[in-house]
Amino acid sequence: MRLKMLRSVQSAVKRCASAPSSARLYSSASTPERKVAILGAAGGIGQPLAMLMKLNPLVSDLALYDIAGTPGVAADVSHINTRAKVAGYAEEKELGKALEGSDVVIIPAGVPRKPGMTRDDLFNINAGIVKNLTSAIAKYCPNALVNMISNPVNSTVPIAAEVFKKAGTYDPKRLFGVTTLDVVRAKTFYAGKTGLPVEQVNVPVVGGHAGITILPLFSQATPAANLSEEDIKALTKRTQDGGTEVVEAKAGKGSATLSMAYAGAIFADACLKGLNGVPDVVECSYVESNVRLGKSGVEEIFGLGPLSDFEKQNLEAMKSELKASIEKGINFANKN
């Protein structure tokens, strides 16, 4: 029996390379024109992300959309002397124009956590925002790769999937929950603990993007290091609680914005490279994929590689929470 579930996989973006391409040639150079739209562009993540995407030479057009504060951010970013042409869109009636022709849409719109809150506590506000924005994507740029940053990612991605299904535009190869920040954190903490050069380190992270549903696979980290079980437990916990660490340090002024903008820029860049046909672009992401179910539950998850006993236990432990978050998103999208 096969069941569809959402989970993280490596090589997700690899598939972007085969996504239908709407490449238009950019002047005489061979770099195609690529339009990137950021929805929530004037926010804590949106602003530095807008800057990083303006610095990305693969971007020819950058559309910045937010319901507040867009003109200032767009004017500011537009003065940076790089390739991308910047346009700001400030009102809901301009959302269609912001989205039209987009190859990649990044969504950091919605409210962030305050100390004491879980990501799921953001559901009531952010679910509606994501539903509206993804409905517009289905209408104006149904072929775009969608990078979902808005929390709770474990539910907002299923909401987007349902919206796209209803609109007849759903393609699981084009919808990504951005979990890159978990990878960024796992790499930083692993390098810190082992003393390995951080730029050489890789750590795959699977699962979703909340607490125990975040599962860094330190057994597959490269370069390999001989860490004790205790160290691996501590690194795993710190990666899972990375978001909360920042929320508490910001003490009511929101959650990770700068590291998230960095992570969002890496993931969007991977999507652009994939679209442009660059081979072997590999990033972890929260995507829909197949699991094989048998008498004892999940028998095989494709593409996770060999797991340590500790990782197997953690994978088992996250399933009910992840499944509930997925169902919550699906129910919301179908009821409202």
Ligand X SMILES: O=C([O-])CC(=O)C(=O)O
Ligand Y SMILES: NC(=O)C1=CN([C@@H]2O[C@H](COP(=O)(O)OP(=O)(O)OC[C@H]3O[C@@H](n4cnc5c(N)ncnc54)[C@H](O)[C@@H]3O)[C@@H](O)[C@H]2O)C=CC1
DSSP state of 114: -
50 marked ligand binding residue: no
Task: Determine if residue 119 is labeled as part of a ligand binding site.
Answer: yes
DSSP state of 107: E
Please, which residues have CB within 8 angstroms of residue 317's CB and are 6 or more apart in sequence? 212
Our answer to whether residue 209 is catalytic in this structure is yes
In angstroms, rounded to a whole number, what is the distance separating the alpha carbons of residues 151 and 156?
7
> Strands, E, within 253-311: which ranges?
285-294, 297-301
Nearer to ligand Y, 133 or 217 (CB): 133
Cis amide bond preceding 306, omega within 30 = no
Binders of ligand Y among residues 268 to 327 (CB under 6 A) are none
What backbone torsions phi and psi does residue 124 show, to the nearest 5 degrees? -55, -40
Cα 236 from chain centroid (whole Å)? 20
**Interface of this chain with ligand Y, residues 166 to 185, rule: CB under 6 A:** 178, 181
**Residues making contact with ligand X (CB under 6 A):** 112-113, 119, 151, 181, 242-244, 246-247, 255-256
Q: How far is the CB of 78 from ligand Y (least distance, A)?
A: 18
**Smallest distance, ligand Y to C-beta of residue 263, A:** 7
Dist. CA 329–CA 111, nearest whole Å? 17
Q: Are 73 and 284 in contact (CB under 8 A)?
A: no
Q: Which does 13 bind (CB under 5 to 8 A by kind): ligand X, ligand Y, none?
A: none
Q: Annotated binding residue at 177?
A: no
Cβ proximity to ligand Y: between 101 and 108 the closer is 108
Residue 266 or 278 with smaller CB distance to ligand Y: 266
Residues of the binding site for NAD(+): 40-46, 66, 126, 149-151, 260
Q: Name the residues that contact ligand Y, by CB under 6 A.
A: 39-40, 42-46, 65-68, 108-113, 122, 126, 129, 132-133, 149-151, 153, 178, 181, 209, 254-257, 260
